[in-house]
Amino acid sequence: MADQPQKDERYKARQQKIKAEVDARVDAAQEEKGLFLIITGNGKGKSTSGFGTIARAVGHGQKCGVGQFIKGTWACGERNLLEQNGVDFAVMATGFTWETQNKEADTAAAQETWAACKQMLADDQYDVVLLDELTYMVTYGYVELDEVVEAIANRPPMQSVVVTGRGAHRTLIEMADTVSEVRNVKHAFESGVKARQGVDW
Ligand code: ATP
Ligand code: MG
């Protein structure tokens, strides 16, 4: 069995190698531009990740905007906090589509919110824009995919955009710089636990 000094040496050598590799990758990444991120998949954590990014940017003094498609019946904790910190919100006026079951009204509400989002995507004052649950608007046909592609592609070069929601369209996935898929391993709701304020909304 190797004695302790030998183990320490090997540990040090391994760490040095990792550091050299990381440093090389950091040096190689020279491009500076706003990023397009997608957080998709069936597991919990997409919107919280999007809002986490907004909180991070606000912490650096950056200007942020949030478009919320599919508003629930509950007030959203993130909005309460972030609006007080200068984040602009465009929130869809209707509740979940499966509750209203009125395609015309849902389309109009989605279009109104999308119009406000397009303004943010065209405004270089915004450093980061979160389009929460936008994927569903494309899936249901409330917002045209081509319009989304155009607005995101033509946004100010230093502006970052985060899109959340299940089933992100493959065209958006191809366009994005960073895509993460949150996989559902298990969720409390499946074992009959109620959604919880502060955790789920
Ligand atoms: P969160 O807002 O918690 O990050 P999310 O954005 O990943 O969740 P959504 O599909 O937008 O997920 O759903 C929002 C609500 O549904 C939250 O209350 C969340 O806890 C719940 N939820 C998310 N994923 C699941 C799941 N796999 N099963 C049951 N409920 C879920
Ligand atoms: Mg969500």
CATH number, residue 106: 3.40.50.300
Q: Are 37 and 160 in contact (CB under 8 A)?
A: yes
Q: How far is the CA of 45 from the centre of ligand 1 (A)?
A: 7
pLDDT of residue 3: 81
- Structural domain includes residue 89: yes
Q: Give residues with Cβ within 8 angstroms of 122, minimum separation 6.
A: 151, 154, 155, 156
pLDDT of residue 121: 98
pLDDT of residue 107: 87
- Structural domain includes residue 80: yes
- In 10 A of CB 75, how many CB atoms? 11
- Structural domain includes residue 192: no
Per-residue pLDDT of the chain (201 residues; tens, 9 = 90+): 568 888 899 999 999 998 898 888 888 878 899 999 999 999 999 999 999 999 999 999 999 999 999 865 456 889 989 999 999 999 987 655 566 677 888 888 899 999 999 999 999 999 999 999 999 999 989 999 999 999 999 999 999 999 999 999 999 999 999 999 999 999 988 888 898 889 888
Q: Measuring CA to CA, how many Å separate 59 from each of 52, 62, 82, 102?
A: 10, 7, 11, 39
- Structural domain includes residue 1: no
Q: Whose CA is nearest to atom 25 of ligand 1?
A: 44
Residues that place a CB less than 5 A from ion ligand 2 = 46-47
Q: Measuring CA to CA, how many Å separate 10 from each of 19, 41, 153, 167?
A: 14, 40, 48, 45
Q: How far is the CA of 23 from the centre of ligand 2 (A)?
A: 35
Which domain range does residue 48 map to? 34-184
**Euclidean distance between CA atoms 41 and 165, whole angstroms:** 7
Give φ, ψ of 175 to 5 degrees: -70, -30
Say yes or no: CB of residue 189 within 6 Å of ligand 1.
Answer: yes
- Report strand pairing: 178-181 vs 160-164: unpaired
Give φ, ψ of 150 to 5 degrees: -65, -45
- Structural domain includes residue 197: no
Q: How far is the CA of 3 from the centre of ligand 1 (A)?
A: 50
- In 10 A of CB 53, how many CB atoms? 19
Written as one string, the DSSP assignment of 113-159 is HHHHHHHHHT-TT-SEEEEETHHHHHHHTSS-HHHHHHHHHTS-TT-
pLDDT of residue 105: 81
- Structural domain includes residue 24: no
- Structural domain includes residue 95: yes
Tally of domains in the chain: 1
- Structural domain includes residue 29: no
